[in-house]
Chains A and B, each alone.
Chain A
């Protein structure tokens, strides 16, 4: 039996709908950030954006791996692709180039997606005693640090474009 939040739940423990929703939302957000960051690594105009994208990809793949294990342990099926809205955002992002791309990536993936992820993880972490909540709480410091980095990156890109 695995230990920690990835250990197998007892069969009698039925996951509340809110936890299932959190796992699926977090998984879809992860897929979005991973795909967007892959595009940014290939297409980012500035080295700072590519560095941020590489870190985002590395962190998100790590979170996604843990999330998959956790979901499996509590018998929740996760989405294998993003929904229509995020698919549209990826398509639009992939249609931008140069500074437009950098700023859109920093804002939409770095800040907005991170803020939404942080909010979802904070909500999930506010309930104590369950594996899902412990998992969410364990990710909060990394998410907050990454969001701060994204805000600095976006501000720097805005300053550069205005110069």
Chain B
């Protein structure tokens, strides 16, 4: 999807992506607690597993004109009292951000910001409760909330942004459950 470059967007600078690699990760630089380290590891592994699928989907120019996708993952252990920026757990770009004409990181954050505020998927907000949206809120789907996870995506057609964010949300729910089950088994064995 071709989106205009957002005026005053700061996302591309902040995500510190370098050109030429397939995926770039920026984890929130808050203190490295064991819980946060664990969550970042789970998210990174999940996004690594998704990468071949995402890259393949992005090859189609009809799906993503710039073969681009930026994903924002919110920290599920942060509640609403934590500011949006501080509650971002991790961001990742698929493709080459340096070559993008649009600031997809900014769009992904704006989608995620609305979903985080409302604790709902943008698809649900747009179709079922548009009255919850404020003036200035982005009105394109592509941020998904399910269970404890909220994830936003931008760079492809909005329905693909939504689909990829949905896949990530469901895989992360499973990965967290798996990690918890493994820790319980380890504890019983020791």
Contact = CB atoms under 8 A, between A and B. Distances in A.
Interface of A: 42-43, 84-85, 87-89, 91-97, 100, 103-104, 107-108
A91 B176 contact: yes
A45 to B, nearest CB: 9
A108 B79 CA distance: 14
Nearest to A89: B77
B79 A92 contact: no
Contacts of A107: 33
Interface stretch (B61-69, B122-130, B154-162, B179-187): B179-187
Contact of A92 (B35, B119, B147, B186): B35
Interface string B136-170: 00000000000110000000000000000000000
Contacts of B34: 96, 100, 103-104
Contacts, number: 56
Interface of A is mostly: helix
A92 B183 contact: no
A88 B76 contact: yes
A91 B177 contact: yes
B38 interface: yes
B78 interface: yes
Contacts of A91: 148, 176-177, 180
Given A91-B176, A95-B183, A100-B34, 8 more contacts: A42-B187, A84-B119, A87-B147, A88-B148, A92-B39, A97-B186, A104-B35, A108-B35
Given A85-B78, A88-B77, A100-B34, A94 B148 contact: no
Interface string B58-101: 00000000000000000011110000000000000000000000
